Amino acid sequence: MARALDLVGDRWSLLVIRDAMDGARSFTEFHRRTGVARNILTDRLRKLAAHGVLVQRTAPSGRRQEYVLTDAGRDLFLVILSLRQWGERHAFASGETRSVLVDQHGAPVPEVVVTGTDGTPLDIDTTRVRKAGQEAADGG
């Protein structure tokens, strides 16, 4: 977890990734959507590109550079969705107006539920971390 947070764990990086998932491509779009200072945005875009979350390429117009999610960046969808849903439950007052994430048919995205191999919902009470090298000690 610490390694992942080093790569994408700050507010501005997550907002850039969120906006890239929502179609932002240019520096100007990211700046307008996030409101982050230009120097910080430059740093985050470079960092995300250096770590393979975004790729920088020439825009189809040929006039400017754009940033596009890589497969690694697209793999962060569940992280962004989980944070969003947590925020919807805990960061808004009851009845407060907010945006809604919808699927391609316009239906709200259902709550994410993590399940075990048998379909049973998992949570902090039904999971644990097996430390590296512990498999032998556990017998498997």
Q: Where are the domains of the chain?
A: 2-74
Q: Over the stretch 34-54, which tens digit does the pLDDT of each residue have?
A: 999 999 999 999 999 999 999
Best CA proximity match to 77, nearest among 14, 25, 5: 14
44-56 CB burial, b ≥16 within 10 A, e <16: bbebbbeeebbee
pLDDT > 70 fraction of the chain, expressed in percent and rounded: 96
Q: Can you read off the two tokens belonging to residue 61? A: 């117009």
SS3 at position 111? coil
Neighbours of 17 (CB within 10 A): 23
- Taking residues 88-103, report their average pLDDT: 93
Q: According to the model, what pLDDT value does residue 107 have?
A: 97
> Is the separation of the CB atoms in 60 and 26 below 8 Å?
no
> Is the separation of the CB atoms in 94 and 121 below 8 Å?
no
Best CA proximity match to 53, nearest among 26, 14, 101, 11: 14
Q: Which fold is adopted by the domain 2-74?
A: Arc Repressor Mutant, subunit A (1.10.10)
Q: According to the model, what pLDDT value does residue 134 have?
A: 79
Question: What does the alpha-carbon distance between residue 18 and residue 99 come to, in Å, rounded to a whole number?
Answer: 13
pTM, two decimals, is 0.86
What are the helix (H) ranges across 66-119?
71-74, 77-90
The rounded mean pLDDT for the chain is 94
